[in-house]
Amino acid sequence: MRHLLSSADLTRDDVRMLLATAAEMHEVQRRDVKKLPTLRGRTVINLFFEDSTRTRSSFEIAGKWMSADTINITGKGSSTSKGESLRDTVMTIDAMAVDCVVMRHMASGAAHQVAQWVDASVVNAGDGTHEHPTQALLDAYTMEQRIGSLEGRRVAIVGDLTHSRVFRSNAITLRTLGAEVACVAPPTLMPSGIRPWAEADGLTLTDDLDEVLASGPDAVMMLRVQRERMSGGFFPTPREYTVGFGLTRERLRALTDANPDAVICHPGPMNRGLEISADAADAAQSLVLDQVSAGVAVRMAVLYHLLAGEEVAA
């Protein structure tokens, strides 16, 4: 493995190996000395052109706990704000002989493009509305920790699917692991070209959340309503969105009635009261904080498999 650009690049064996590694790394997190010498002498640059709390900090902690040198560069404080092009920025970083660039960018495909320019390994930490593969890995990891193997389990992904890179990566990884995936969104937020993909990959499409919850899925993943990506017109009012697609107190009850062991995920940051009610976010079934805690372990696993092994001939 040289880059991690898309969840589709990972075979089932790759995902299984990353999740198994993450489980061991999670154990390191509970120790007094949270430091492994594994990536000593390696340099990881976090290059973030979009805001992020948990992804950037967890990549930084993951690198540091494995003794890599990690450096953060954000779009705002860098030469990008002086008009430097993306290519010049990443070529400058690459010229410093770094080993890995963890990248978030508002343009879909940015990480793929950068991977063709640089010698370093590139990790896609979110590119526009395209993909966010490490989020999908940590969601799968968190769910498996609580409910066991995802093979044959039913997962509903609910919300703004059009603008969600978390949805795309999750749907791919969940299918790779053999889970059944139901995609729930209002028609305006269902990606326009999704039908051929859904047919080829066996995704179920629906706009009826209540019906999906009544069928007792094993996991429900609520997605954030991304106001920063919406130019308006996708739904009339926030209130109307909540009525149709929010995980309200009533829907939480319907879910737990149908399947008492069901779990709830949200990639964060949450809009409490919009897509998820406080009752659901803080319920015993909620994995939101487990997801954050797993984020570091999963990113340690990714950095380990990208950077620790035999150097790949360029």
Q: Which residues bind another protein (CB under 8 A)?
A: 17, 20-21, 24-25, 27, 31-33, 35-38, 66, 304-305, 308-311
Asked if 181 and 171 count as a contact pair (C-beta separation under 8 A), the reply is yes
Beta carbon nearer to another protein, 228 or 310: 310
Closest CB 127 distance from another protein, rounded Å: 25
Query: How far is it, in rounded angstroms, from Cα 241 to Cα 170?
Result: 22
Query: How far is it, in rounded angstroms, from Cα 222 to Cα 97?
Result: 40
Query: How far is it, in rounded angstroms, from Cα 140 to Cα 263?
Result: 12
Beta carbon nearer to another protein, 102 or 303: 303
Beta carbon nearer to another protein, 251 or 299: 299
Beta carbon nearer to another protein, 32 or 228: 32
Closest CB 65 distance from another protein, rounded Å: 10
In degrees, to the nearest 5, what angle opens at C-alpha 125 toward C-alphas 68 and 58?
Answer: 50
Query: How far is it, in rounded angstroms, from Cα 57 to Cα 290?
Result: 16
Q: CB-based contacts of 5: which residues, under 8 Å, 6+ apart?
A: 111, 112, 115, 122, 124, 131, 133
Beta carbon nearer to another protein, 176 or 256: 176
Beta carbon nearer to another protein, 161 or 303: 303
Closest CB 63 distance from another protein, rounded Å: 14
Residue 289 half-sphere exposure, CB side, CA atoms within 13 Å?
6
Asked if 89 and 79 count as a contact pair (C-beta separation under 8 A), the reply is yes
Q: Does an H or E element contain 222, and which?
A: strand 219-222
Query: How far is it, in rounded angstroms, from Cα 306 to Cα 128?
Result: 23
Closest CB 67 distance from another protein, rounded Å: 10
Closest CB 25 distance from another protein, rounded Å: 8
Closest CB 116 distance from another protein, rounded Å: 24
